[in-house]
Amino acid sequence: MSAIYNNEMQEVIRRLLAELGEDPSREGLLDTPKRVEKSLQFLTSGYSADVDSVLNNALFTVDYNEMVIVKDIDFYSLCEHHMLPFFGRCHVAYIPQGRVLGLSKIPRLVDIFARRLQIQERLTSQIADTLLEKVQPMGVAVVMEATHLCMAMRGVEKQNSVAVTSSMLGIFRDDARTRSEFLELIKKPGLVDGPANHTLPPVACTVD
């Protein structure tokens, strides 16, 4: 079934090339449908990933209740409105409540949700909500900053714009000092006095 599906996707890509005015049979494009299909399968592999399997055997009972931060996690995703890339860095923190998560699992969790058709706001919330559900800490904080090619290459064509989104849950939402400590540690003090969940201008994607 997988081979049939792949062949169908490649045929769609051939038709798209033709609709764009290209000749899918010319030498440079002969293998393009296969390459694009393979690329899209990888870039959307988060749909088939299982969060519980990724986090399995990576939760450990530890008497530790200080902030855990993994910052500057590179991520790449596709804007669901134009299927153009947006990419940047993700900063994640949580305060354990008897259990900690293996550090390498946090970037993997980011990848699971980034490798889907996304908007940055939803991506930010999905990472935070999943950590809160699976680890059950006192709180979770996620800040994402990204460049969106749907803004840089087309539309408003603002090449230097960066979209920043955040999700603060639990103690990070309720305690300004905890939130401030996190934002200072990731060098985002300008967000300290803002709302706990927000998007700074410019917006992540303009649908046009």
In angstroms, the CA 208 to CA 205 distance is 9
Residue 202: is the preceding peptide bond cis (ω within 30°)? Answer: yes
Point out the catalytic residue in the list 22, 81, 97, 145.
81
Q: Is 205 considered catalytic here?
A: no
Point out the catalytic residue in the list 91, 126, 148, 205.
148
Point out the catalytic residue in the list 91, 118, 121, 150.
150
Q: Is 82 considered catalytic here?
A: yes
Point out the catalytic residue in the list 10, 118, 120, 126.
120
φ, ψ dihedrals at 24, nearest 5°:
-60, -15
Q: Is 181 considered catalytic here?
A: no
DSSP conformational letter for 25: T
User: Which positions ≥6 away from 134 have C-beta within 8 Å?
Assistant: 51, 52, 55, 59, 101
Point out the catalytic residue in the list 80, 97, 136, 181.
80
Point out the catalytic residue in the list 82, 90, 118, 205.
82
C-alpha distance across the termini of the chain, in Å: 36
Q: Is 148 considered catalytic here?
A: yes
In angstroms, the CA 96 to CA 135 distance is 8
Q: Is 90 considered catalytic here?
A: no
Point out the catalytic residue in the list 10, 37, 79, 126.
79
Largest CA distance in the chain: 63
Q: What is the set of active-site residues?
A: 79-82, 120, 148, 150
